[in-house]
């Protein structure tokens, strides 16, 4: 109870400062371009830290340590897939997207695709933005729901009230400051996250060696003692099962290749080439340390609590930190972790709002507003989406929300990765082919997951393959409108 009170006090102070910081950054927003993409003037360090915090918050702090605690070394394949994808994104895609965003003078993810394929610009905007907005509605709702459940588990707050608190934390500065406020609050989250993910394993290893009464005194001993499934990188299976384990883990690679709009927007917002190089270096180093740390915390959890010692595997990180650190330090690190999970919603919310405002409402209204009114409209759309997403979290069954979120990594990430890669690297790829790719990828993802085939071969891999095949066939078989 004492620890819970300490965490609550620290959390209130931390989140209050975070909100003030976000509102301060929002004061610098003067135009709808500032609101949507920070005027494309982000320094490299801010873009890198924001991209990493957005991409890895609840995953690196709850999901991956929890999976490592539950499966042992098998989760290395997932980490390898993610790290390889992130490194590829920063080295091959990020600077190209930055240059293209500057060249085509774009404010949103879908606007870039549509301007590159101007032969079918209108349809690409409508279909691409509608797809993203629809799924990200539920994605934001899931973040509100997840934040509510986290606060409920930590402080025994009613889930419905906790969801409202979650929204109250991130919505004001997101509405006011848009993308700029989101990025600079993410920077704080990324710093706290990396401190927890680096300091946690170091202190944890020392803690294990000094406490012989624990389940194990080292990570290798813990994995060996827990059983062959934990000490094997393929979950002690062979043949087809081994292939499924490896492919399932490595398939996370395909979602990072430019197809996650909330991450690609950070690439596009970097101010210049020099800053893009700085961002690349920071992003890659942060990722390597973070993934090693997340896996290690999960394995340290096995050594401390045993393989079956926790009721909820995804709370292994806060449980480990509370065990190995003094309460005051643990409270700060756990507070940062919880705040990072909660604030993931801000990136998804502002992305949905700008896609809806810039690519659907603005072309449909056909009214030229001045900068002040454009900014007011963007803020109004963000507020409206926040309310709808919160209502979805309240009235929709949680299994429906999480099912639709499950489509995002494949139907959005893997699918749009194909569109971005071919747009950047294949001159023959044209607008009609891009539109067919988007539709084919979404339809296949929904069909594949709905029929249960995702349990056989993950949709993260299959959607990428199917979208790529559809893209190549459409490029050669469907006439390019520009040449007709």
pLDDT, one tens digit per residue, over 417-433 is 999 999 999 999 999 99
Residue 96 pLDDT class (50, 70, 90 cuts): very high
pLDDT of residue 367: 60
Q: Which of 401, 447, 443 is nearest to 141 (CA)?
A: 401
pTM for the full model? 0.91
Name, of 128-137, 360-369, 413-422, the range with top average pLDDT: 413-422
pLDDT of residue 454: 85
Phi, psi of 42 (to 5 degrees): -75, 135
Q: Is 185 helix (H, G, I), strand (E, B) or coil?
A: helix
Dist. CA 68–CA 210, nearest whole Å:
23
Residue 343 pLDDT class (50, 70, 90 cuts): low
User: Each residue of 46-85: pLDDT tens digit?
Assistant: 999 999 998 887 777 878 898 899 989 989 999 999 999 9
How much is the mean pLDDT over the chain?
Answer: 88
The structure tokens 């449980």 sit at 319
Q: Give the pair of three-digit tokens for residue 101.
A: 């965003």
Dist. CA 402–CA 471, nearest whole Å:
29
Per-residue CA distances from 446 to 389, 408, 453, 459 (Å): 21, 10, 11, 9
Section 360-380 average pLDDT: 77
- Taking the alpha carbons of 64, 67, 73, 76 in that order, is the dihedral positive or negative? negative
pLDDT of residue 206: 95
Of the two residues 34 and 153, the one the predictor is more confident about is 34
Q: Which of 408, 58, 436, 61 is nearest to 255 (CA)?
A: 408
Query: Per this entry, what is the length of the chain?
Result: 484
Q: Give the pair of three-digit tokens for residue 122.
A: 């209108």
Of the two residues 376 and 425, the one the predictor is more confident about is 425
Residue 362 pLDDT class (50, 70, 90 cuts): confident
Residue 368 pLDDT class (50, 70, 90 cuts): low
267 close to 175: Cβ distance less than 8 angstroms: no
Dist. CA 345–CA 357, nearest whole Å:
18
CATH classification (class only), 2-397: mainly alpha
Dist. CA 76–CA 299, nearest whole Å:
11
Q: Where are the domains of the chain?
A: 2-397
pLDDT of residue 240: 63
Q: Which of 247, 249, 227 is nearest to 236 (CA)?
A: 227
Of the two residues 10 and 446, the one the predictor is more confident about is 446
């Amino acid at each position: 109870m004492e620890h819970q009170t300490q965490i609550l006090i620290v959390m209130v102070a931390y989140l209050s400062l975070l909100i003030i910081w976000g509102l301060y950054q929002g004061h610098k927003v003067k135009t709808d371009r500032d609101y949507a993409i920070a005027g494309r003037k982000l320094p490299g360090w801010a873009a890198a830290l924001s991209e990493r915090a957005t991409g890895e918050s609840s995953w690196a702090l709850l999901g991956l340590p929890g999976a490592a605690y539950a499966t042992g070394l098998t989760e290395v394949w997932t980490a390898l897939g993610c790290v390889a994808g992130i490194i590829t994104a920063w080295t091959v895609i990020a600077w190209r997207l930055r240059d293209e965003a500057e060249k085509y003078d774009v404010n949103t993810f879908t606007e870039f695709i549509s301007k590159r394929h101007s032969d079918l610009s209108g349809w690409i905007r409508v279909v691409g933005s509608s797809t993203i907005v629809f799924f990200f509605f539920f994605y934001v709702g899931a973040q509100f729901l997840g934040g509510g459940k986290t606060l409920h588990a930590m402080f025994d707050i009613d889930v419905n009230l906790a969801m409202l608190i979650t929204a109250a934390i991130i919505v004001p500065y997101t509405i006011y400051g848009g993308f700029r406020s989101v990025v600079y609050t993410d920077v704080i989250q990324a710093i706290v996250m990396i401190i927890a993910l680096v300091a946690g394993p170091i202190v944890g290893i020392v803690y294990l060696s000094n406490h012989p009464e624990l389940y194990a005194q080292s990570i290798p001993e813990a994995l060996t003692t827990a059983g062959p499934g934990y000490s094997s990188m393929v979950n002690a299976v062979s043949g087809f099962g081994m292939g499924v384990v490896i492919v399932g883990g490595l398939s996370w690679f395909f979602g990072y290749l430019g197809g996650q709009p909330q991450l690609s927007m950070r690439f596009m917002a970097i101010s210049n080439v020099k800053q893009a190089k700085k961002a690349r270096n920071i992003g890659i180093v942060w990722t390597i340390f973070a993934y090693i740390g997340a896996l290690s915390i999960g394995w340290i959890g096995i050594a401390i609590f045993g393989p079956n010692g926790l009721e909820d595997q995804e709370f292994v990180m806060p449980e480990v930190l509370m065990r190995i650190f003094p309460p005051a330090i643990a409270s700060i690190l756990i507070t940062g972790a919880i705040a990072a999970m909660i604030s993931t919603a801000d990136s998804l919310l502002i992305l949905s709002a700008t896609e809806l405002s810039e690519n659907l409402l603005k072309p449909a209204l056909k009214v030229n507003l001045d900068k002040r009114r454009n900014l007011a409209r963007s803020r109004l759309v963000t507020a409206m989406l926040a309310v709808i997403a919160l209502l979805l979290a309240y009235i929709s069954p949680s299994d429906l929300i999480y099912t639709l979120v499950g489509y995002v990594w494949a139907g959005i990430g893997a699918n749009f990765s194909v569109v971005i890669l071919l747009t950047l690297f294949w001159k023959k790829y044209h607008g009609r082919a891009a539109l067919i790719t988007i539709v084919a990828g979404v339809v296949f993802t929904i069909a594949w997951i709905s029929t249960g085939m995702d349990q056989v071969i993950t949709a993260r891999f299959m959607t990428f393959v199917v979208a790529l095949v559809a893209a190549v066939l459409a490029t050669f078989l469907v006439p390019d409108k520009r040449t007709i």
